[in-house]
Amino acid sequence: MKFLRLFTKGFFLTLNVVTVLFFLLACLAPFISPVRFWPISFITLGFPFLLVILVLFLIFWLIFHPRYALIPLVALVIGWKSVSAFFSFRWPARWETTQKPEGSFNVMSYNVALFGLYSQKNSKPTRQAMFRLIREQQPDVLCLQDFYTSEKKGDFNNREDISDEMKLPYRFFSSDFNRDGNQHWGSIIFSKFPIVKSDKVKLSPGPLGESLIYADILRGSDTIRIVNMHLESYRFNAQDYQSIEKIKKQEDTGLVAAKGIMHKMRDASARRSRQANIVADFIRTSPHTVIVCGDFNDTPASYTYFKIRGNLQDVFLKKGSGIGRTFSGLSPTLRIDYIFADRRFDVNGFRTIHSDLSDHYPVIANLSFR
């Protein structure tokens, strides 16, 4: 009986120590680029699960062996920078986007997944529903990723239609990819306020490389730089998602499938970290106060997140609650869409809108100058 107790204690103690080591390694992600050490990107994906296990260990040791509770407790204290970025400890507060304090404005970011252009035979209903959703939020600044527009007869000129329907007359579009000169894909900024300067910065070389775009908007006497981007995705195709299902079901072909998926994830993580360096340098040299929007395709535990955020405010952490999931696929822990704001702004409200029109949820914040 004594041997069994010692064995059980030793087993849980060893498991706790191993969990702590992986957790602390994940907490090093803000300082280690996946270009230098690519496994760090895989470990950070498991950060929320490591966090839950550590909390369970803390409770377990407090009940059975209180002195061992110091192991997970010290790890949580050391890793608090990552914990506090991943989880908002605020009590859930309901904020309606129509509630705009005097002098404030709404900023909205949304990966619209091309308005369902390729995922549905008839994307018109999805497009109409997305337009309705956006209009209801009354954004004053609207940043969209995976945006599609066309000048072809019978196709959707989303660029013009959004400006007209949402009363957002000023805009800047990256047009990173185009077909025949009249079908365009990329990221776009719409604004209720005049744009005095705008441009784009290429984030990756090659025909598939997207751009960071910015627009300096004039609001009263204040010039605000709006930055929008869509960082490198894993580019999973239908076959890759089938492979993920094989891995989940532990089929014999799962190992082969896992190898190909890991290669894609490794390469994408390295590209994102390079892009994050470009974005961070661009933000740092801005002559104006900055608001950053985008689909980063990376979690709050990642190098990408911390590099871009720098000294900016994550508006979700200011007014959101819980884990703030923004991606509906793969895992319930993925917050990959963000709005960051200069610390000279007050964050008056924030919402994640749970809509299945895209695989991303739109996020919106109300800001005002202090």
Of 97 and 102, the structure prediction assigns the larger pLDDT to 102
* pLDDT recorded at residue 254: 52
How many angstroms separate the Cα of 221 from the Cα of each of 173, 192, 199, 209, 342?
A: 25, 15, 21, 35, 17
Distance CA 44, CA 29 (A): 7
Q: Which two tokens stand for residue 26?
A: 């994940």
Whether 166 contacts 142, CB under 8 Å: yes
Rama region for 145: left / alpha / beta (φ>0; ψ in -120 to 50; rest): beta
pLDDT over 70 at 332, yes or no: no
Q: Mean pLDDT score of the chain, rounded to an integer?
A: 90
For the stretch 315-331, pLDDT in tens is 999 999 999 999 987 66
Closest CA to 350 of 99, 156, 182: 99
Which pLDDT band, with edges at 50, 70 and 90, does 238 fall under?
low
Model pTM score? 0.92
Which pLDDT band, with edges at 50, 70 and 90, does 74 fall under?
very high
The beta strand positions in the chain, using DSSP E, are 105-111, 141-150, 170-173, 177-179, 183-191, 195-202, 211-219, 222-230, 289-295, 313-314, 337-341, 345-352, 363-369
Domain extent listing, the chain: 2-86, 105-369
Least confident range from 45-54, 183-192, 237-246: namely 237-246
* pLDDT recorded at residue 122: 79
Q: What is the percent of the chain with per-residue pLDDT over 70, rounded to a whole number?
A: 91
The beta strand positions in 63-157, using DSSP E, are 105-111, 141-150
- Residue 337: CB atoms within 10 A of its CB come to 25
Q: Which residues of 345-357 are buried (b: 16+ CB within 10 A; e: fewer)?
A: bbbbbbbbbeeeb
For the stretch 216-234, pLDDT in tens is 999 989 999 999 999 998 7
pLDDT over 70 at 359, yes or no: yes
* pLDDT recorded at residue 253: 52
For the stretch 125-166, pLDDT in tens is 999 999 999 999 999 999 999 999 999 988 899 999 999 999
Distance CA 221, CA 202 (A): 30
Of 111 and 261, the structure prediction assigns the larger pLDDT to 111
> Any idea which fold 105-369 has?
Deoxyribonuclease I; Chain A (3.60.10)
